[in-house]
Each structure stands twice: as structure tokens, then as C-alpha cells.
Amino acid sequence: MSFGGSQIPVIVLKEGTDDSQGRGQLLSNINACVAVQETIRTTLGPLGADKLLVDEKGEMVISNDGATIMKLLDIVHPAAKTLVDIARAQDAEIGDGTTSVVVLAGELLREARAFVEEGVSSHLIIKGYWRAAQLAVNKIKEIAVRIDREDETRFRDLLKKCASTAMNSKLIRSNSAFFTNMVVDAVLTLDQNDLNENMIGIKKVPGGAMEETELVDGVAFKKTFSYAGFEQQPKFFTKPKILCLNVELELKAEKDNAEVRVERVDEYQNIVDAEWRIIFSKLESIVASGAQVVLSKLPIGDLATQYFADRNIFCAGRVASDDLDRVVQAVGGSILSTCSNIQPSQLGECNKFEERQIGGERFNVFKGCPKAKTCTLILRGGAEQFIAEIERSLHDAIMIVKRAITNNQIVAGGGACEMELSRCLREYSLSITGKQQNFIAAFARALEIIPRQLCDNAGFDSTDLLNKLRMQHAKGTTWAGIDMQNECISDNMKLFVWEPSTIKENAIMSATEAATLILSVDETIKNEPSAQPQAPGALPPGAANRVLRGRGRGMAR
């Protein structure tokens, strides 16, 4: 801005604001994302390595799940945080392919880096990448194989193959055959209209072998906190009536809640008697309803526990909300917030209820539920970190089976789909002219990172195997991929290495979104952190270093 022929400075940003822009800033963002990719790429595939992450509290997590690693990495670079977002989005939407999407996004940026360094406009690169991504997704829809759901046996076999492929890259791959049936049974137990995976409860019991993991067709939860009299209650019922409450069944003294002034002893006695009448009226209503199992989100005190024990009724208080919700889904009835006027339709029922020992824990188990649209996986294993990784692995497999049910189109894994897309895009790039030819060819090269990284993580000769893959796909072998068992090339569709096509579609679109978002940023503005109050006589930030350096120079002299 000029005034009277002189330049007047205009201050827009606060003093101390970090303002970086231009090609250097864009390259810095790309390098940060590539550095994140370098960290996570070694976890890809059946023979990928695990990561051991330790937080500030000293708690450690061992995992090769991309979303878990990205969530636990304390990434401070603003551009690199975009990769965390796409990993979480892939995990929430699909459940698997979280490592693939980060690796692919990093490779797209790596390919774009050479163009940026040569001065090519990032908007041209973005345009080419979106064009290539759309072509790739259309090609996936074209080559995907649809499985007919009318044949239930064949369809169940499809689900098992997809679950097995998802587990092959996890810690439980050696026991994938054991867990595959369990995962498929768990998902098929759910209501097939909404397939709410939250209705599959997962409980962890340290100790025992991994093969002792079991699937309960119904609901199971750990024994809750119990008062005196609990052990006198029956622990087994056949066809019991089940009452679910959101009511506190404890004797409450009003003197704890309100100030009561009395002048005579009989007035005080009336208050005490009223308190007892309140709790007893609730308990009598419950007994009159015919319920044999009473569950409540709120505490059930020692008076109520002993009262129920004397009448051969089982009770459990402080039941977790998600567990009680699943109980209602399984046995029927509803959660009541009052004990008055309990109707028979508000009670649930199951064929068998029991409390039994599983490992070092006691569990309340409801089996044979007439409205069973829920189930519970009870995981066993040695270390808690190992069980936590089993839980993450089964979650991925459950999500994959869910996606396979809603979209019964599959593609072959092991890099077969990516190599076919790469071949298709490379041929398309040769058919067009102009700069876009280079960007679509770069996208095709980036897709090859998946089979290349699978080979590198397994210790195979990636250059040799990729050349063989290119040759096979050029001959028309659509599903040629890496055979991880025999260190060679094979038809992965015939080897039953199957994945739902939505994994690939979502991964390509998410990776392209992340890469183009970062390429569209040409300036980073970082506000100065708020100044912290200093103690009297304290040195300003950085002064200690200057003092030490000054002393060092003095000593040197």
C-alpha cells in the first residue's frame, strides 16, 4: 500500500507468526508425509513387521494395524496429520486396508515431488491424479467378481476367504483357520438389515491358550461388584424371566440428602420407617413380577442382595450400559426406570442363564436367546498386549465380513488388483498427449508400491517379481499377484486371496484425496504459542543455551 509516494508497512499477522510459503514449503510437506510412510510401510502384508509403541506413561502397544499405529504416533507436523485422518477414516468405513491407504498416499506424493521440483504447477498434478483415480475405480468395478448370495454354502465360503485374507497380515495368521469360522458366525448372528458391529461384544480374559477363545451365542459379561449375600443366590436357571433396570436398589438415609429437624423420638422413627418402606416396596414389586434374574445399571446394595438371595433370585448391579443394552437386544423386554407396575411384556427370557468360571474371571452368560441379534467373543491369551492385538485383528476381520455381506463383489489381493490397475492406467497414458500423460503414468507407478512393499517385507526379490507381474498382466492374467507362501507369482483368485472391492475403491479415493489436499497447500501459517509466565529472575527461552555456549567459548579460550 502506498501513500504520498512512500511505502507504509501493513502488519496483518501477529509478531512472531511463522509464515512459510512457496515451493519449499510444499516440498517440506511432501517430505513429512513420505517420512510417515517410511515408518509404517514395513508393517504391510502377511510378513510385515510389528511396531512397539510406548507412550509417556510407559504403557506399550505392539501392533501392525495401520490405524492403531497412526493414532499412537505423536505426529506434530500439520500436513502429515492428514495421513492420520485417512487411516482413521479407512478404519471407520471399511475396517481394513489402513496401512495400504497411508502407503499409497505417501507414494503418490513421492511421485509428485519430482514434478514439483521441476516447477510444474501442483494444480496440473492434482487434475491428473483425480483423473487417474476415477479411471482406477471404474476399472475395479469392471473387473470385480460378484458372488451369488442365493447359494448360502458358497456365500459363506466367500465370507470365510475374505476373513482369512484380512487375518493373514495380523498376529493371529497362524490360527486364522480357527478364528475365521468364529468371525463369520459372529457377523451372521447379527441383524442382517443393519449389521451393527457394536452388538458383537468382545471380552478379554488374560491366561490360557489362544485356542481357548470362544463365541457365546448371546451375551456374556464379567461378574459385577457384589455385596454380602451374593454367594447365596442361585447361579443357574433354565428359561428364567429377566428384568433390566436403571434403578438404584440401596437403602438411602435421607439425612445424607436433606436436613430433617425432629422434636420427638417417634418423628425420627417415622422417617426411618419411611426409608425402609420405600426400598421394600421396590423389592416386593420386583419379586411380584416373577423375575428370576435382575440386572441394573445402578448399584444393588447389600439389603437388596440378601433379600433376593432369600427368594432364589439372582441380581447384578453396576452392569455396563453397553452390556445391558445387548442383554435387552438378546432376551427382549426393556430397561425400566421404575419398579412400579412391571408388566410381563417388559421382562426378557432366555433358555439358559449361568454364572461360570472362565480363566481367572467369573462371567454371567445368557444363552439360547429367542431374539438373539448379538453375540460375545471371549478372548484368551498370555499377555494383555497380545490379547489387545487379537481384538484389533478380529475387529478388522469382522468389518471385512460385514462389507462382503453388504457388497458381495470381490477382487484378488496380494497386489494383483493394483498391478492390473497400473497396467490399465499406463496403457491409457500412452493413448493421450500433453502433460496429463506424465501424471497418470506417475499414478500407475505409485500403485506398484503395494506388491513391491509386500515383497520387500517378506524378503523377496521385488525387482524380479514385479517384472514377472508386469509380464503376466500384459498377457492378460488379470489376477496375477504375489504368492507369499511359495515366493513366486500365481493367480490369487484361484488361491482364494480375496478382498471386498470396496477396500480398494475406498483406499484409492482416500489416498488421492490426501495427496491432492497436501499438493494444494502452498503456505503454512503457524501462530506463535502463548507466552508462559516466567518466575522472577528466570532466563528467557533459549538463554540457557546461549549462556552455556558462551561459557564453552570462554573455557576454550
Residue 155 cell numbers, joined: 456365500
CA angle 552, 553, 557 (to 5 degrees): 115
Choice among 43, 68, 98, 305 that is catalytic: 98
- Can 19 be counted among the known catalytic residues? no
- DSSP 8-state class, residue 539: P
Of 262, 238, 250, the C-alpha closest to 318 is 250
**Cβ proximity of 436 and 127 under 8 Å:** yes
The helix or strand, by DSSP H or E, that contains position 69, with its residue range, turns out to be helix 66-72
- Can 157 be counted among the known catalytic residues? no
- Can 99 be counted among the known catalytic residues? yes
- Can 406 be counted among the known catalytic residues? no
d(CA 255, CA 268): 11
Residue 521 exposed, middle or buried by CB count within 10 Å (0-12, 13-18, 19+): middle
Of 176, 154, 181, the C-alpha closest to 165 is 176
Of 171, 115, 155, the C-alpha closest to 515 is 115
d(CA 251, CA 302): 9
Choice among 43, 65, 68, 189 that is catalytic: 65
What are the counts of helices (DSSP H) followed by strands (DSSP E) for the chain? 17, 23
Residue 129 cell numbers, joined: 491424479
Beta strands in 111-153 (DSSP E): 145-146
* Percent of residues in the chain assigned helix, strand, coil, to nearest 5: 50, 15, 30
Choice among 43, 82, 99, 165 that is catalytic: 99
**Cβ proximity of 40 and 102 under 8 Å:** yes
Choice among 396, 477, 478, 516 that is catalytic: 396
Dmax over Cα atoms in the chain, in whole Å? 102
Which residues have a catalytic role annotated?
A: 65, 98-99, 396
